[in-house]
Chains A and B, each alone.
Chain A
Amino acid sequence: MTDTVGIVIVSHSSDIAKGTADMVRQMVGSEVKVAFCGGNPDGGLGTSVPLIIDAINDAWSPKGVAVLVDLGGAETNSEMAVEMLEPARRDLVVVCNAPIVEGAVMAATEAAGGSSLAQVKAVAEELSAD
């Protein structure tokens, strides 16, 4: 199997994160590594930098990882998590400006075809274009 870009889903809600990951897996199967996390460090609604770091490392691929987020804090925490990765990995992770469910499905579909990280990000972000 050739490497494909990994997908990470970061929501304030672990239910939304898991549900989104379930949808992605149903559509692209196991060709693409998908990891997800949701909830703050106490398990309430929110996001957690250490959990995001773990998810990125779980979905790790030499082709990189695309991160899909829901609301503001998920984006800020994901950007922080990327900066706290080991240096060799930082430049291979992007946080996509895209709706979380549609973005994750589109990104994973694109990744499954062997596309580059930049292509995967671009396809997800087309959803945000007017």
Chain B
Amino acid sequence: MSVPSETFKSLVKAAAEQVIASAPELTSLDQAIGDGDHGTNMKRGCEAVLGKLDAISAQPLDEALKMIGKTLVMTVGGASGPLYGSFFLAAGEALSHDKHLPEDLADVFSSAVNAVSARGRSQVGEKTMLDVLVPVLETLKTAAGQPDLIARVRTTATEAVERTAPMQATKGRASFLGARSVGHVDPGARSSCVLVQAVCAGLEARA
């Protein structure tokens, strides 16, 4: 089995558009505990991806993911560029090395999450995007092949992003705030959730 390029294209488009639509919310979350640029940065990166979408989706899946990653790296302009960029670069790299979708989804996602962790020198529990991506990975592993996998991933992502609110940031700009970062949802966790939900919604619509 493989992922048809039309499906891939529509998922990327939906995810990018959803992030762009969420930019004001991401910015307002980032103004509370960061430097207030997460929404505009992600919007710029996603617009760049949309601008190249035809060229991206004409590539084999592994190369297409790497192109998305590189585009984000080159255009986002904040730390989220290399972080999300590394996610997609690593996912593409995994697919270049004998991994296939959808059957190896958890493995591919794992490589991508590990790349984010390495790039940010961060672990789960530090109030970052990993606090959504790691729980989603766990659900992809434990619910693999289950008919309600997509629904479970959506629930996991939504619950995970809310759990970042009481966390104290120890990485990134929010760490300067120390205890004052407590009580705010992490903007990177929110943008990860937006991406996951958009892809899930796209898959549900095609199911």
Contact = CB atoms under 8 A, between A and B. Distances in A.
Contacts of B82: 49, 76-77, 79-80
A46 B173 CA distance: 13
Interface stretch (A36-44, A88-96, A102-110): A36-44
Interface in B146-168: none
Interface stretch (B73-81, B95-103, B198-206): B73-81
Interface of B: 35, 37, 40-41, 44, 73-83, 85-86, 119-120, 172-173
10 contacts: A40-B37, A40-B77, A41-B44, A42-B44, A44-B77, A46-B37, A46-B41, A72-B172, A73-B77, A76-B82
A71 B81 CA distance: 15
A72 B81 contact: no
Contacts, number: 63
Interface string A12-49: 10000000000000000000000000001110111111
B173 A48 contact: no
A50 interface: yes
A72 B79 contact: yes
Contact of A49 (B37, B73, B83): B73
A127 interface: no
A75 to B, nearest CB: 8
B35 to A, nearest CB: 8
Contacts of A75: 79
A118 interface: no
Contacts of B86: 80
A79 B121 CA distance: 12
Contacts of A80: 73, 81-82, 85-86, 119
A73 B73 contact: no
B77 A46 contact: yes
Contact of A42 (B77, B80, B81): B77
A46 B73 contact: no
- Residue among B75, B83, B173 with the highest chain A CB neighbour number at 10 A: B75
Nearest to A42: B44
A44 B40 CA distance: 10
Given A41-B75, A49-B73, A50-B74, A77 B81 contact: yes
A101 B84 CA distance: 29
Contacts of A84: 73
